[in-house]
Amino acid sequence: MSRAKQLYDWADSRLDVENAQKFLGKAFPAEDSFLLGEVAIFCFILLVLSGIFLGLFFEPSTSDVEYDGSVQEFQGEEMPEAFVSVLHITYDVPFGMFIRRLHHWAAHLFVASIGLHMLRVFFTGSYRNPREPNWVVGTGLAALSMGAAYTGYALPFDEFAATATSIGYNLTISVPLVGDFFGQVIFGGEFPSSATIPRLYFLHVFVIPAAIAVGIAVHMAILIRQKHTEAPREADVETGDRTVDADDGSVIVGLPAFPNQAAVSAVVFFLTAATLSLLAGLLPVHNIAEYGPNNPAATPSLIMPDWFLMWVYGFLKLLPKWASFTVGPVHVSGEFIGGVVLPGLVFAAIAVWPFVDRAPGQEHFTADPLKRPWQTGVGVAAVAFVMIASIAGMNNILADQVLGTTTSVVNPYLSAALLLVPPLYGGLTYLLLRRDLPAERTEQGPAPGEAAGGDADD
Ligand code: HEM
């Protein structure tokens, strides 16, 4: 018996390698849009790696220290240590600026790829029975990714970021009855206190990444257990050792996990890393030297959150003053309604969606969005809603720099647009798709689509 065979038998008797090989032959549908989820995973890996580098130099403290570094304008100035350490990373640590930018761009791409992945799953109906649990886990991951980005945004403790993140503190304490308690737990009390940055740092580098890692593990475990969805097949598929019927949803036709899909995934990983490196090399991020350290006595002229939280900011800006009331000892503020209740309702609506668009039996083929008039109409309306709310979040820029007027003039139009445009777009989408749909073709039956080739997995 050769040495290699002996080694294999040794490993097999302990690790059941034979079975693992079966797993490596697992089929992946050859669909490009299915790679969006992988891009999100790779961004997460790059975020953790670049974050470890940054963590070696970042100081989570707001105590003042004297600056001694390359930025002449701050030389000898007493400034918060967190701010000083990020200046140090950016201008004095070898590769510091590159890694900081890479971390920043990876955070943007992480949230963007999750959003696009979610839209792919939505419009192709891939959340339907039996994949509802994975959709719910995914909704949690989307919220966590925003939490990770928000807590990271605060850390350099520059004037812009500190002011923008103070909005989060105000929203937290606006929650009736328990707001102050959560303000203490998350922010260490008044914003900013000496405990704020250490608390946010702990959430950013440990609690939230750990929760995301567990969430991704559960998401993947459910995915492996349930298998991917697959585009409907045009005809029966010959896979070499068997014939898979066109409508047999219990079997996946696609690339084996190893080596084919592993090679595709490696390419996606390197493309993700290359894109982020290019962005980091060429495009600056959040220039803290320009903003200067946090100054509690001043308010910057322009305050805004990152793009993916702009819709929440839009709710806050559009909510009328009278939407704030007191019932007995409980005060319900506009901030609570706009910044906590409405976003909470949006996330709740996303989470329960697969239970609204219920499929009676299991659906293992993706649906064609053009053949799902009302579901696609709801999706279009939802995208329009988030986009208009995001534009409302930038109402000051729209008013000042685009229309040359004031926010009090544009706000009523934005409110009307937020209420009217989504149902209008959704309704039009519905009518257009309905018109093109022959009466007998509903979304439930597998419509002819692309046929995949390769291995079968059951
Ligand atoms: C950290 C965030 C996330 C990561 C890393 C992630 C990763 C993935 C990956 C790699 C897949 C398999 C390939 C693919 O379909 O793209 C997948 C499938 C899936 N994801 Fe996500 N996902 C995330 C967030 C979400 C969100 C926000 C939702 C929806 C609310 C979601 C719902 C689903 C569903 C239902 C599937 C199964 C789809 C199918 O079988 O076609 N995921 N996810």
Q: How far is the CA of 149 from the centre of ligand 1 (A)?
A: 19
Closest Cα to residue 204, out of 55, 406, 87, 40? 55
Q: Are strands 330-332 and 325-327 parallel, antiparallel or unpaired?
A: antiparallel
The verdict on the CB of residue 142 being under 6 Å from ligand 1 is yes
- Cα–Cα separations (whole angstroms), residue 49 to 99, 148, 190, 205: 10, 15, 32, 11
Residue 160 main-chain phi, psi, to 5 deg: -65, -50
Tell me the backbone φ, ψ of residue 175, rounded to 5 degrees: -70, 125
**Cα–Cα distance for residue pair 151/147, rounded to 1 Å:** 6
Query: Cα dist. 198→67, 156, 167, 243, 382 in Å?
Result: 20, 12, 18, 59, 37
Ligand 1 nearest atom to the CA of residue 230, by list position: 41
Report how far ligand 1's centroid is from the alpha carbon of 358 (Å).
19
230 Cα: distance to centroid of ligand 1 (angstroms): 14
Compute the residue count for the chain.
Answer: 458
Pocket flag, ligand 1, residue 41 (CB < 6 Å): yes
**Percent residues over pLDDT 70 in the chain:** 95
Nearest CA to ligand 1 atom 11: 37
Is a pLDDT exceeding 60 seen at residue 260?
A: yes
Kindly state the percentage of the chain with pLDDT values over 90.
Answer: 75
Q: Going from the N-terminus, what domains does the chain have, and what CATH number goes with each? A: 26-303 (1.20.810.10), 311-448 (no CATH)
> For 231-243, what is the mean pLDDT?
86
- The residues pairing with 78 across neighbouring beta strands, listed in sequence order, are 66
pLDDT higher than 90, residue 455: no
pLDDT of residue 439: 65
> What local confidence, expressed as pLDDT, does residue 29 receive?
86
Binned at pLDDT 50, 70 and 90, residue 447 comes out as very low
How many Å lie between the centroid of ligand 1 and the Cα of residue 56?
A: 32
Angle, helices 132-154 vs 159-173, to 10°: value is 130
117 C-alpha to ligand 1 centroid (Å): 6
Please identify which residue in the block is written with the tokens 């719910």.
136
C-alpha distance across the termini of the chain, in Å: 34
List the residue whose alpha carbon is closest to atom 13 of ligand 1: 34
Compute the average pLDDT of residues 236-259: 86
- Asked if the model's pLDDT at residue 451 lies above 50, the reply is no
Q: Residue 449: which residues within 8 A CB-CB, separation 6 or more? A: 231, 232, 233, 234, 365, 366, 368
